[in-house]
Structure 1
Amino acid sequence: MLLLSGNNVGLPGALKSSKLHQRFLFLREILLSKKRLELKIDAIRAGQGPASSYVAVPDIIATLCSSRTRSAPSSTTPILPRYFSELRSRGEAERASERGREMHWVKAESSDFSGNLPLPRSGHTAVNVGKSKVIFFGGFADRRFLDDISVYDIENKLWFTPDCTGSGSDGQAGPSPRAFHVAVAIDCNMFIFGGRSGSKRLGDFWMLDTDIWQWSELTSYGDLPSPREFAAASAIGNRKIVMHGGWDGKKWLSDVYILDTISLEWMELSVSGSAPPPRCGHSATMVEKRLLIFGGRGGGGPIMGDLWALKGLIEEENETPGWTQLKLPGQAPSPRCGHTVTSGGHYLLLFGGHGTGGWLSRYDIYHNDCIILDRVSVQWKLLTTSNELPPPRAYHSMACIGARYLLFGGFDGKSTFGDLWWLVPEDDSIAKRLLSAPPDILPESKSVTTLSGSPQSLPKESQTEQSPILELQKRLGISISSSKAQVNLVDEMEDKELHELSSRLAGETLPTRDQVACIQALRDHWRKSSERSIQLQELGPLLRDYQRLIIHKHFVQLLISSPI
């Protein structure tokens, strides 16, 4: 979860007082102050004196506050293909109208819809059929695979379940229960291929005519791709579908298939040159004349964060099919799988997904960040949002409805979600109801770039400026005199959450009985962490450890003689 992202700075005045924004500033200030204070304490121990310990502080702050990725080596110079650079001359009017406009997350309310909402699930699909409806199919929940359909009627704001007819090869009216399949809409038809049901990977092919709500099984038409799950697919214009990769139960796949929805024939595309590693759980999106794939899990299990473009999908272009790896400037998404990429206007919106974190041992991370690929400036950007975010998740769905996005479902490693969230522009009527709610405001926080609190052996603050460290002490409820500290604070050896987290991070590298070594390893992890990598479950132990550090800073001699 990217909880402490530096890109929330610069909010409109009306939103700077929001509860989440104030909490964000406060927690980030805690992290930066703790790093600064520990650097100075380490310098005192090393006998470097005030001057040398103070020099390192701006580098730490500059690193943590930077919202841009560091310049890549010359071997990874951003590749800007000609078809992307052509987009720079398009959409400038649309871009100018949206420049500076923020987006807001708003949890959907019962008054937003009528009808029966879909049940919680993950691994389902959601496709837009024209501009009139969004169709949700399948998924997994409560240890069972699903085969139900929920339809959202956009104009009437109505959820309903259609009565579908049809006859499959096994006598069923429609596809069997499944999850992790692909679904693509062409005109009024939704096409479904593959997926998983139980331990079986599926290779059947279905079409749903949404005008008459009738299923047709098309499995017997031509040579189909091999059974698979976690593949990625996208529409090519209004006639063809392209599908890439997946997992067949034994190996990761890298093949590319083209479906002609008129002749109902599949064709495996022969691609020359270098190609992306085999993968599953990635995204595939058509942009102009190219298919873009991002992320996924590959051979051996690594989670990837690479971006590739496939040309040669449009017959009229007479191009030889080939892959190109793209390295675009900006704040690229971290490696992940199970995310969504949704096309909206001049940009692609990437949300959520499953990744890994940790340093001594790896652990699962579920994301809730929004990153856009701007098709005009041709770069990655972290989308500015200024209010409560949906819980992190993967294998969810995201549908574009006009200027709005609708998030549904997903999984976070423990729970399956059934919540619905809107992502809307700040001038949307749904966003405006946020401002009408009674504010719950934390005390105002100063910019982190002014942090300059220090142990007493270092130069003191000017009497005309109150130390941010002192402000933090007040907000943390710590009352400290020159000779005595009075605070209800759990000792580090009694902090169960601190011990559990340190033992988990240490893994097998350190014996879990050596609590001092494990805690030191955890603190080293925090020193090396950026504001983006700190996880939600770490904030409680980090906050308490910072409280203890503020107490200990008033007893420098004790700190010199005892490890922190």
Structure 2
Amino acid sequence: MGTDSSDWHLALNYDQWVALSVSGPRPPARYKHAASLVDEKLYITGGSRNGRYLSDVQVFDLRNLAWSTLKLNMEPKADKTTDGSSLEVLPASSGHRMIKWKNKLLLLGGHSKDNFDSLKVRFIDLESYHCGVMETSGKVPVARGGQSVTLVGSKIIMFGGEDSQRRLLNDVHVLDLETMIWCALETVQTPPVPRFDHIAAVHAERYLLIFGGCSHSIFFNDLHVLDLQTMDWTQPQIQGDLVTARAGHAGIAIDENWYIVGGGDNRSGAPETLVLNMSKLALTVLTSVKGRDPLASEGLSVSSASLDGEKLLVAFGGYNGKYNNEVFVMRPKPRDSLHPKIFESAAAAAAAASVTAAYALTKSGKLDFIKTEESNFKVVQNDGSQQDFSLEINAIREENKVLESSLAEVRAENSSLKGKIEETSSTYTELSKELHSVQGQLVAERSRCSKLEAQITELQRMLESLQSIEEEVQVLRRQKSALEHDMEPDAAVQRQSSGGVWRWIAG
């Protein structure tokens, strides 16, 4: 796309990716970098290329479509790694995450050549370009990369990742940005299996959604939801299009729609751009690109921008057999905004709507609430008339009873399943031990068989040698027999001659 106008975005078609024509030099191609869009500027930090970690900070201006390199003012190196060496303030790293908080960019985690035990939170001040490490306290998480980081109000929610020893994680930690105190969340029900390179979003400031990612050998296309009020994990069914498993994809939420781009499974990239309606949990394929397109890459980033009131998706980087440094934009078509319905029934929603309406009228000063009996709830208007909300309240109570009963049944079933899982796990552990024992015996038997085979081979060689010696002995015996046969006449003549001599001597 080539244009010199600052309102180039107005010519974009809806729901189609377009590569921007960039003026001036581009930054080095990369993947697994971190990205954040602030005031019409896309900030890119770090990443990886050809097995080498990067530490630069690049800025792309969406108005003039030009890149620039951000020069930072570094704090002194005050922290230490596990081997006692100084810790870099902004080390070359990949698999880290970056979010905007007030006038700062916060960088969390990531893999680098530095070895340290706890996760570091670094910052870039967007006014002074000062860079440093933020001091945190509380239950600080173990260092990791490939985790998800989501901002909810003044708190960061972090899930999963892979630590420096390549151990996979599925823990949930929260950082309060007002106090810089970490805490670990204790969740219930079955969490997602440990993973990294997944994506996360928060819906209605209550539900944390986790999609995709991978272990060291398995790629996922599952969706998990954590209710941040009850701390319950669930795995709801996704409606709509089926999608392939993927990791290294990117996601950004706009209102109730979660846009998911790229990713792959180490064999091929995911060409679809997906949109998940987080209220309906309905997934659709928005558009697709060709298999080798930069948007079908692992480790790319996607951010949300607003130009002149128009929402844009901005994608950068990634790897799909080659490293990319192109900038792509999409103008998503405005979609209907719905009320959260993830765990709401129609009856409860209707009843709640009635009570909410009554409460709104009361706040306006036009109504007064009175409570008559426990089962009655009426509103007295200024003209003296009353409106009875008892039916709505009773409906909510009955709905609540049904939900509590259902919840008790589900918890009982989950408890039973947990017991079966523990029993199966115990059986599996015993079988694993037995298998290891049998495998050890098998190795010993194989070693003994190898030694016996070597002895048999040696004996066969000796037997072949004995047969050869036996044949030589037979030949020698035949030669001896023939020689003895040839010597018999000479022996007879000698005996006759000797007899004559003795007779002469005797005579």
**Do they fold alike, i.e. is TM over 0.5?**
yes
2:219 counterpart (284, 292, 303): 303
- What is the match of residue 411 of structure 1? 319
The amino acid of 1:230's aligned partner reads G
1: CA distance between counterparts of 2:116 and 2:47?
Answer: 14
CA shift, 1:143, in A, is: 2.8
- What is the match of residue 186 of structure 2? 270
2: CA distance between counterparts of 1:199 and 1:263?
Answer: 27
**Taking every aligned residue pair, what percent have the same amino acid on both sides?**
25
Give runs of aligned pairs for residues 180-329 of structure 1, distance below 5 A.
Answer: 180-198=95-113, 200=115, 203-219=119-135, 221-237=137-153, 239-248=154-163, 249-288=165-204, 289-298=206-215, 301-312=217-228, 319-329=229-239
- What is the match of residue 162 of structure 1? 70
- What is the match of residue 83 of structure 2? none
CA shift, 1:158, in A, is: 4.1
- What is the match of residue 272 of structure 2? 369
CA shift, 1:245, in A, is: 0.4
The amino acid of 1:211's aligned partner reads E
What stretches of structure 1 of length at least 5 have no aligned partner? 1-100, 313-318, 357-363, 428-564
Q: 1:303 to 1:380 in 2, by over 3 A?
A: same
The amino acid of 2:174's aligned partner reads I
2: CA distance between counterparts of 1:397 and 1:290?
Answer: 23
For the residue of structure 2 that corresponds to 1:135, the secondary structure is strand
CA shift, 1:354, in A, is: 1.5
1:339 counterpart (239, 246, 249): 249
Contact between 1:177 and 1:197, CA under 8 Å: does it hold in 2? Answer: yes
CA shift, 1:377, in A, is: 4.5
2:27 counterpart (118, 136, 152): 118
What do the CA deviations read for 1:4-53 (whole angstroms, capped 9, x no partner)? xxxxxxxxxxxxxxxxxxxxxxxxxxxxxxxxxxxxxxxxxxxxxxxxxx
| Aligned length in residues | 307
Matched, 1:379 2:282: yes
What do the CA deviations read for 1:296-321 (whole angstroms, capped 9, x no partner)? 113x6211111011112xxxxxx221
CA shift, 1:128, in A, is: 2.3
CA shift, 1:166, in A, is: 2.9
For the residue of structure 1 that corresponds to 2:109, the secondary structure is strand
Matched, 1:349 2:264: no
- What is the match of residue 108 of structure 1? 20
1: CA distance between counterparts of 2:72 and 2:137?
Answer: 22
1: CA distance between counterparts of 2:98 and 2:31?
Answer: 14
What do the CA deviations read for 1:200-246 (whole angstroms, capped 9, x no partner)? 57732212221221112125644421011111111012x11000001
CA shift, 1:172, in A, is: 7.1
The amino acid of 1:420's aligned partner reads V
Contact between 2:139 and 2:184, CA under 8 Å: does it hold in 1? Answer: no
1:397 counterpart (289, 295, 301): 301
Q: 1:426 to 1:262 in 2, by over 3 A?
A: closer
- For CA contacts below 8 A with separation 6 or more, give which structure has more relative contact order: 1
Contact between 2:304 and 2:313, CA under 8 Å: does it hold in 1? Answer: yes
Give runs of aligned pairs for residues 140-179 of structure 1, distance below 5 A.
Answer: 140-167=48-75, 168-170=77-79, 174-179=89-94
CA RMSD of aligned residues (A): 2.6
- What is the match of residue 490 of structure 2? none
TM-score w.r.t. structure 2 length?
Answer: 0.56
The amino acid of 1:195's aligned partner reads G
For the residue of structure 1 that corresponds to 2:146, the secondary structure is coil
CA shift, 1:191, in A, is: 1.4
Give runs of aligned pairs for residues 58-69 of structure 1, distance below 5 A.
Answer: none
2: CA distance between counterparts of 1:386 and 1:185?
Answer: 30
The amino acid of 1:411's aligned partner reads Y
What stretches of structure 2 of length at least 5 have no aligned partner? 1-12, 80-85, 335-507
What do the CA deviations read for 1:445-478 (whole angstroms, capped 9, x no partner)? xxxxxxxxxxxxxxxxxxxxxxxxxxxxxxxxxx
CA shift, 1:174, in A, is: 3.2
2: CA distance between counterparts of 1:179 and 1:233?
Answer: 14
TM-score w.r.t. structure 1 length?
Answer: 0.51
Q: 1:260 to 1:182 in 2, by over 3 A?
A: same
2: CA distance between counterparts of 1:115 and 1:200?
Answer: 37
For the residue of structure 1 that corresponds to 2:241, the secondary structure is coil
Give runs of aligned pairs for residues 70-81 of structure 1, distance below 5 A.
Answer: none
- What is the match of residue 414 of structure 2? none
1: CA distance between counterparts of 2:87 and 2:192?
Answer: 38
Q: 1:115 to 1:212 in 2, by over 3 A?
A: farther
1: CA distance between counterparts of 2:46 and 2:116?
Answer: 15
Question: Which of the two has higher C-alpha Rg?
Answer: 2
Q: 1:377 to 1:275 in 2, by over 3 A?
A: closer
What do the CA deviations read for 1:89-117 (whole angstroms, capped 9, x no partner)? xxxxxxxxxxxx8422222113xxx4543
2: CA distance between counterparts of 1:153 and 1:240?
Answer: 28
Contact between 2:106 and 2:121, CA under 8 Å: does it hold in 1? Answer: yes
